[in-house]
Amino acid sequence: MADLDNIGNAPEAVGAQLSSGEPETPRVRRFRKRYVFIVLAVLVLVASAFGYVQYKGGFGNALAPFIPSPDLAQVFGKQNLRVLVMGLDENWTTSDVAYTALARTDTNLAVNIDLRSKQISVLSIPRDLWVYIPKSGYGKLNEAYGDGGPQRVEATIAKNLGTPAFDYYVVLRLDATKNIIDALGGVDVPVEKDMDYDDTWGHLHIHLKKGLHHLSGEEAVGYIRFRHDPEGDFGRMRRQRQVVQILAKRMRDPATAVHLPALLGVIKDNVRTDMPIGKLYDLALGLRGVSSESVHSAVLPVDVGWTNGESVLFAQSEAHNVIRKYLISGYGSGFDPSNVRVTVENGSGTPGAASAVADFLRQRGFNVVETRNAKTFNNAKTMIETADQDVAGQVAKELPVKNPQISVGPVEGVDVVIVVGRDYRIQ
């Protein structure tokens, strides 16, 4: 059954676009939903510990469990560390050889790390954001790297969005994720649906079947890049989070030590940074115990627009508040809805009810991973099913129904299951 304010120092021409009063389109709403763009950032932080093994005198010393965590605020001489993480797209020659000259940034992550509280805020800045690129003129943000490297990207973001200066940058080639997974011998991923897509020009071939599978690096990257379904980019970024959680768990497994030589080669070939190797190691060591609940993420709120006949994105006026929250003040240790994985079921019989509630929750920052039909449509009241009473209370505050029922107990695969009842009316 089918689920019945002008910011920073941007030029005036750009600022004029920020105050657009046009209604949001579905695509705009997709970009406003909370994503967890921590794939590359987490991989760098974890792999850095391995990459510095030789500097510390061998595998035994590097992996010794008694090594104390460094005082990161003392190491870096400040409380907050800001890092710009860029993931590069690749170009291909006519003979099918990949190259990165004049490459574009497929991913731009502004990461703010509170070195004392170990709270990490990640703000994703869309690659199609229309900006003024210093020394080059107007263009999409993803063009800045080809115009002047990582420093040009940093300058472009600071000029157009008024962000604080970045302390360091990290650049990863497109194949970094693929090669890390291959170096680990693959990963076990519960593929959520059948996926079939071929893009010969973009060297992307995805042919996966629903179910638990041991995926190679290429297959795993195909899984997280797939966006040819109703969720589009949102589904792609959700699957990125799923795979990085699997990788993070795998990295904590002592058996991973046997893959260290291969991982060292991957880092050497795929990562470029201006952070000194000693500090990179200390950072990874100091953050080794950070849980997913300490990582908070958002995407810069944008509107869709057109310029020179091309579809582009313009930062919304509220982007200023998002930048301040994530890159200046920090998220803090309060409740973060983006860390709550939710499945929404249609138990009302009203077509589209689950999708409407899912969209409502995504706009409020929850990580809705799936919508589907409930076992029955005879649900008079909306039900919240979760193992955490406190999370149930937070979800209940946000739902557009009064006094939903709460059932506390184990749920499978997610943190919360919401069964939409007939007490919900689509707005």
> What is the tens place of the pLDDT at every residue in 315-345?
988 888 889 888 988 766 567 787 788 999 9
Q: Calculate mean pLDDT across residues 306-314.
A: 90
What does the pLDDT read at residue 168? Answer: 95
CA distance 105 to 87: 6
Residues forming a β-bridge with 170: 85, 273
Query: Is it the case that residue 417 has pLDDT exceeding 60?
Result: yes
Query: Is it the case that residue 138 has pLDDT exceeding 60?
Result: yes
Q: Above pLDDT 90, what percent of the chain?
A: 31
Q: How far is CA 127 from CA 105, 130, 155, 160, in A?
A: 7, 9, 15, 14
- The two tokens of residue 331 are 């998220």
CA distance 58 to 359: 50
| Three-state DSSP state, 20 | coil
Q: Calculate mean pLDDT across residues 394-406.
A: 92
CA distance 193 to 289: 33
Domains, the chain, ordered by start: 12-328 (3.40.630.190), 340-420 (3.30.70.2390)
CA distance 27 to 233: 9
Give 343 or 412, the one with higher predicted confidence. 343
Q: How far is CA 113 from CA 150, 205, 234, 300, 370, in A?
A: 20, 36, 25, 18, 30
Evaluated on CA atoms 203, 209, 215, 220, the torsion sign reads positive
Give 383 or 278, the one with higher predicted confidence. 383
What does the pLDDT read at residue 43? Answer: 41
DSSP 332-380: -SS--GGG-EEEEEE-S--TTHHHHHHHHHHHTT-EEEEEEE-S-S--S
Q: Calculate mean pLDDT across residues 212-230.
A: 84
Residues forming a β-bridge with 416: 342, 386
| Three-state DSSP state, 271 | strand
pLDDT, mean over the chain? 76
End-to-end CA distance of the chain: 22
Query: Is it the case that residue 207 has pLDDT exceeding 80?
Result: yes
Of 19-23, 103-107, 307-311, which has the strongest mean pLDDT?
307-311
Query: Is it the case that residue 151 has pLDDT exceeding 70?
Result: yes
CA distance 235 to 229: 8
